[in-house]
Structure 1
Amino acid sequence: MSTPHDFDFLHGEWDIINRRLLNYLDPDSGWEEFPATHWCRSLHDGAANIDEMSCPTKGFKGVTLRLFDRETEDWHLYWSPSQTGTLFPPVIGRFGADRRGEFQGDDTYRGEDVRVRYLWSVLSQTAAHWEMAFSPDGGQTWVRNWTMDFTRRPAS
């Protein structure tokens, strides 16, 4: 059962190692790796949160707003990159008893309709993993195109 506190593990400050495909739909396009810093704060008594990721070597930041729908018990995750300032369509889903979350939605990439999937894995109090994949065929096949490995920053 999903709860308003599923993302409590993410509150605080993190260091991230990003790996992403150069072309999100081409698994042979090559991977790039870059660091980021991240912070996350709780809103609505845990039923929402906001975060910002800063990627200084890539020259951009990103914001995620997560909202828990108490009626459906689904989370709606919205992403906005600093390059455009637009809010992408949400991915919607929930966490399971194994502390693994799956979230899906529809979007476009370079003019092509894609299904988007985020997977969250809570590994420990100090480590988490996120990945994104696109499907150009409605979820029949997936191209994993971005991963993030989170390491909690020591309390200051």
Structure 2
Amino acid sequence: MSALPQVNPDSFVSHDFDFLFGSWKSHNHFLNGRLRGSDNWIDFDGTLEVEPLLNGLGNIDRYAAVRNGQTVLGTTLRLFNPVTQEWSLYWADNVRAGILQPP
């Protein structure tokens, strides 16, 4: 079994998304018919709640909105890799139920 990579404790967390923490009202500008040559944009409002996870190694948000009369519920999971100093973001929602979108 190989040893785990050594990580500088000062680089173990990232604060790149700390500005999102809290509860927010959002205004969305959504392209209806993406990747189909559409220029029909839809505007709608929503809410977003964001909180930290794992002592700085990640955060999660909960999103809610009504788009075209349909309730959209979603969540983003953001995870920080202290070895590569990179974030991975995963999205899931009730529109594409059961699918965790790749980073």
1:59 corresponds in structure 2 to 71
3-state SS of paired residue (2:74): strand
1:39 corresponds in structure 2 to 49
2:84 & 2:35 partners in 1: Cα distance? Answer: 31
Contact 1:35 1:55 in 2 (8 A): yes
Higher helix share: 2
Deviations 1:115-135 (A, max 9, x none): xxxxxxxxxxxxxxxxxxxxx
The alignment status of 1:11 with 2:11, answered yes or no, reads no
2:37 & 2:56 partners in 1: Cα distance? Answer: 37
- When Rg is computed on C-alpha atoms for both structures, the one with the higher figure is 2
2:33 & 2:20 partners in 1: Cα distance? Answer: 28
1:69 & 1:9 partners in 2: Cα distance? Answer: 19
Task: Quote how far apart the aligned CAs of 1:26 are.
Answer: 3.6
Amino acid at match of 2:28: N
| Structure 1 runs (4+) greater than 2 angstroms displaced | 26-29
Written as runs of structure 1 = structure 2, the 5 A alignment for 1:62-101 is 62-83=74-95, 84-90=97-103
1:52 & 1:79 partners in 2: Cα distance? Answer: 10
Contact 1:21 1:27 in 2 (8 A): no
Q: In the comparison of the two structures, how many residue pairs are matched?
A: 89
TM-score for the superposition, normalised by structure 2: 0.78
1:16 & 1:43 partners in 2: Cα distance? Answer: 22
Contact 1:8 1:46 in 2 (8 A): no
Unaligned runs of 5+ in 1: 91-156
Unaligned runs of 5+ in 2: 1-12
Higher strand share: 1
Contact 1:34 1:55 in 2 (8 A): yes
Task: Quote how far apart the aligned CAs of 1:40 are.
Answer: 0.3
Written as runs of structure 1 = structure 2, the 5 A alignment for 1:116-135 is none
3-state SS of paired residue (2:35): coil
Task: Quote how far apart the aligned CAs of 1:30 are.
Answer: 0.7
